[in-house]
């Protein structure tokens, strides 16, 4: 069997019938076994250790030195039929003098290499099949060994199917186990993948001695694996009781978010607070409560460390399929019919921690996709309940070689806290509740929605202004008294100090 390559303009007959084409390394190997008695005990794959190939005359010549040379037989897939079984025979039969010799077993000439291999017992022992799968797991991605395993089941009739399954299962499931914590879910996903490939070849997985498929994991019931993954997140009984331990500020945020989820009206929240102020505690309470009600709650984070802390947490880029390079107005890499889209449609809440560390384009892209798949283009995130969390006083996003203005322009605060705040419900600093009316007014100014005069200036309301009379020293004391009333009496009160500040453009000022 020869592999022939030729240009499409050449005539096949001329290529096939050219002089010397009937000779090859294999046919020359047959001739060497006929003429050299010492060659008859050497397998074809080991032949280069003792003989050298002379390409000019197309023959094998005995080596004159002891240079070590490794031989290799071109690999063949079991689906290639006779070519594969010819390779099996060459790797196990020494001294062959012809193709007929390779098809002869116990003095009987058999019609095919397959029957000769089977009669010799090479297929029944599954040694070559095991070797074939082992090589595939070394050099190929997990999907390829799964496909090869299916091909072996269909064409090679292995004797010990469960033996091959147990030995190579870890290699075949490596991609699934990397992203899914549940071993049972991983096993079912591998079996379902194998079932689907067998069906494409006209075979039924039930005809092979493999493990049974749990129909609750079966994607044939039109329930995507992404939903199974979220539904199979292990519940911590202690987390369900966390809501009873929330403090006043955390309880206020918890009640408002849960009310929004129950009303199914959708809302966008931002939980802002320094580290160790209870944000993760709030997230765990929300996730546990909703999952205990058999609702889907998606937990994601910008950093992998933070994602590992949240129950069932994942990276935002992995969950939303956010491209690594995203342009303004871009979308995520999942379709409206994909499992990711179905998961987001059914999710009761999406919690995104460390959102302050991501670029605004990375949040705007899921926003665009959710508006599309939910069919509510006029609402942020398609009317889903979204909880963003983070602290803009901590590490911000990275803009390579970016100036301060570019970093601020790429931040999440620029996107939603100033452009779309009429849709946004603020759950302010976990230790510092702010006046919602005052916040809304300032955001309207920042968003450009407040009325301006002829010069384009906004008229600030008297209710939020501190009067200035021209006496710098007296006006400064007035400002301090208004922002910090009864300062001496409240110096030891941390809530009093952390809920107010006087900002200026320069430290000297």
So where are the chain's domains?
Answer: 12-114, 127-221, 237-434, 466-498
Q: Is the dihedral of CA 327, 391, 461, 476 positive or negative?
A: negative
Percent of the chain with pLDDT over 90: 10
| 375-414 exposure pattern, b = at least 16 Cβ within 10 A, e = fewer | eeeebbbbbbbbbbbbbeeeebbebeeeeeeeeeebbbbe
**What SS3 string covers 117-150?**
HHHHCCCCCCHHHHHHHHHHHHHCCCHHHHHHHH
Entry pTM: 0.50
- For residue 293, CA distances in Å to 257, 288, 289, 296 come to 15, 9, 7, 9
pLDDT in tens, 338-374: 888 989 999 999 999 988 888 888 888 999 999 999 9
Residue 253 — pLDDT band, cuts 50, 70, 90? confident
Compute the distance between CA of residue 176 and CA of residue 179 in angstroms, rounded to an integer.
6
Q: How many C-beta atoms lie closer than 10 Å to residue 115's C-beta?
A: 15
Work out whether the CA dihedral 228, 322, 341, 336 comes out positive or negative.
negative
Which of the pair, 4 or 426, is modelled with greater confidence? 4
Pairing between β-strand 51-54 and β-strand 424-427 as defined by DSSP bridges: unpaired
H-state helical runs in 400-450: 404-409, 412, 436-447
Tell me how far apart the terminal alpha carbons of the chain are, to the nearest angstrom: 89
In this structure, the number of other CB atoms found within 10 A of the CB of residue 455 comes to: 5
Whether residue 95 has pLDDT greater than 70? yes
Q: What is the pLDDT of residue 11?
A: 63
- Is there a contact between 84 and 114 (Cβ–Cβ < 8 Å)? no
The average confidence (pLDDT) of the chain is 79
**Which own/partner contact pairs does 24-32 have at CB distance under 8 Å and 24+ positions apart?**
24/58, 25/53, 25/60, 26/90, 28/53, 28/58, 28/59, 28/60, 29/60, 29/96, 30/96, 30/97, 30/98, 30/101, 31/59, 31/60, 32/59, 32/60
Distances (CA, A) of 428 to 277, 334, 464: 12, 33, 19
Please, which pLDDT band fits residue 54 given cuts at 50, 70 and 90?
confident
Chain segment 11-44, per-residue pLDDT in tens: 666 655 665 556 788 888 888 888 888 778 888 8
349: closest CA among 311, 312, 309, 299?
A: 299
Q: For the domain bounded by 237-434, which CATH number is listed?
A: 3.40.50.300
Query: With helix as H, strand as E and coil as C, how does 208-268 read?
Result: CCCCCCCCCCCHHHCCCHHHHHHHCCCCCHHHHCHHHHCCHHHHHHHHHHHHHHHHCCCEE
Query: pLDDT grade, residue 419 (50/70/90)?
Result: very low
- How far apart (Å, rounded) are the C-alpha atoms in residues 144 and 128? 17
Predicted confidence (pLDDT) per residue in 208-240, tens digit: 888 888 876 665 455 676 787 787 787 777 888
Is residue 378 predicted with pLDDT exceeding 60? yes
Q: How far is CA 4 from the centre of its chain?
A: 41
Per mean pLDDT, which range of 26-30, 391-395, 397-401, 500-504 is the poorest?
391-395
CA 285: distance to chain centroid?
A: 26
pLDDT value at residue 423? 39
Neighbours of 348 (CB within 10 A): 18
In which element (H, E) is residue 272 found? strand 267-272
Q: How confident is the model at residue 429 (pLDDT cuts 50, 70, 90)?
A: very low
Separation CA 192–CA 211 (nearest Å) = 11
pLDDT one-digit tens code per residue, 287-328: 999 998 889 999 999 888 888 888 888 889 888 989 888 877
pLDDT at 278 over 60: yes
How far apart CA 384 and CA 341 sit, in angstroms, is 13
What 8-state DSSP symbol labels residue 31? H
Please check whether residue 464 is in contact with residue 441, taking contact to mean a CB–CB distance below 8 angstroms.
Answer: yes
Strand (E) or helix (H) holding 386: strand 385-390
Residue 424 phi, psi (nearest 5): -100, 135
* Least confident range of 42-51, 250-259, 267-276, 428-437: 428-437
Residues 6+ apart with CB under 8 A from 368: 329, 330, 331, 332
Q: Looking at per-residue confidence, does 411 or 317 come out higher?
A: 317
Sign of the CA dihedral running 429, 301, 223, 336: positive
Tens digits of residue pLDDT in 56-84: 778 888 887 766 666 667 777 665 678 87
For the stretch 203-212, pLDDT in tens is 888 888 888 8
Tell me how long the chain is: 509
């Amino acid at each position: 069997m020869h592999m022939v390559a030729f240009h499409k303009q050449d005539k096949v007959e001329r290529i096939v019938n050219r002089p010397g084409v009937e000779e090859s390394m294999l046919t020359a190997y047959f001739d060497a076994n006929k003429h050299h008695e010492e060659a008859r005990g050497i397998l074809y794959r080991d032949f280069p250790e003792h003989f050298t190939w002379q390409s000019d005359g197309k023959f094998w010549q005995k080596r004159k030195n002891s240079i070590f040379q490794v031989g290799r037989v071109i690999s063949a897939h079991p689906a290639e039929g006779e070519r594969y079984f010819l390779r099996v025979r060459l790797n196990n039969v020494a001294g062959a003098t012809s193709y007929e010799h390779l098809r002869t077993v116990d003095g009987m000439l058999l019609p095919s290499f397959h029957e000769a291999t089977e009669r010799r017992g090479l297929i029944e022992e599954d040694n070559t099949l095991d070797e074939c799968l082992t090589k595939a797991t070394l050099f190929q991605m997990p999907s390829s060994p799964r496909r090869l395993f299916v091909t072996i089941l269909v064409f090679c009739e292995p004797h010990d199917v469960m033996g091959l399954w147990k030995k190579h299962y870890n290699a075949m499931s490596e991609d699934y186990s990397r992203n899914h914590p549940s071993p049972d879910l991983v096993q079912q996903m591998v079996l379902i993948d194998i079932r689907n490939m067998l069906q494409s070849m006209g075979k039924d997985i039930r005809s092979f001695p493999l493990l049974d498929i749990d129909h609750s994991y079966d994607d044939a019931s039109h329930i995507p694996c992404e939903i199974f993954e979220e539904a199979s997140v292990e519940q911590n009984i202690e987390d369900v009781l966390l809501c009873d331990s929330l403090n006043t500020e955390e309880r206020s945020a918890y009640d408002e978010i849960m009310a929004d989820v129950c009303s199914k009206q959708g809302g966008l929240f931002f939980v802002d607070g320094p580290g160790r102020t209870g944000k993760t505690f709030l997230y765990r309470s929300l996730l546990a409560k909703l999952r205990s009600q058999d609702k889907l709650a998606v937990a994601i984070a910008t950093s992998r460390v933070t994602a590992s802390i949240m129950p069932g947490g994942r990276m935002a880029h992995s969950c939303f399929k956010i491209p690594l390079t995203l342009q303004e107005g871009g979308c995520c890499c999942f379709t409206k019919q994909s499992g990711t889209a179905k998961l987001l449609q059914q999710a009761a809440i999406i919690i995104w921690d460390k959102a302050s560390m991501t670029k605004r384009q990375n949040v705007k892209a899921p926003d665009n996709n959710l508006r599309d798949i939910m069919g509510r283009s006029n609402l942020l995130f398609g009317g889903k309940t979204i909880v963003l969390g983070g602290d803009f006083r901590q590490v911000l996003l990275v803009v390579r070689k970016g100036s301060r203005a570019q970093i601020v322009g790429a931040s999440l605060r620029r996107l939603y806290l100033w452009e779309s705040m009429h849709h946004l419900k603020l759950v302010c600093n976990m230790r510092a509740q702010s006046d919602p009316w005052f916040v809304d007014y300032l955001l309207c100014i920042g968003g450009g929605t407040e009325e301006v005069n002829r010069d384009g200036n906004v008229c600030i309301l008297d209710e939020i202004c501190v009067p200035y009379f021209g006496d710098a020293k007296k006006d400064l004391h007035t400002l301090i008294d208004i922002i910090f009333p009864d300062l001496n009496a409240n110096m030891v009160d941390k809530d009093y100090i952390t809920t107010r500040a006087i900002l200026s453009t320069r430290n000297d000022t």
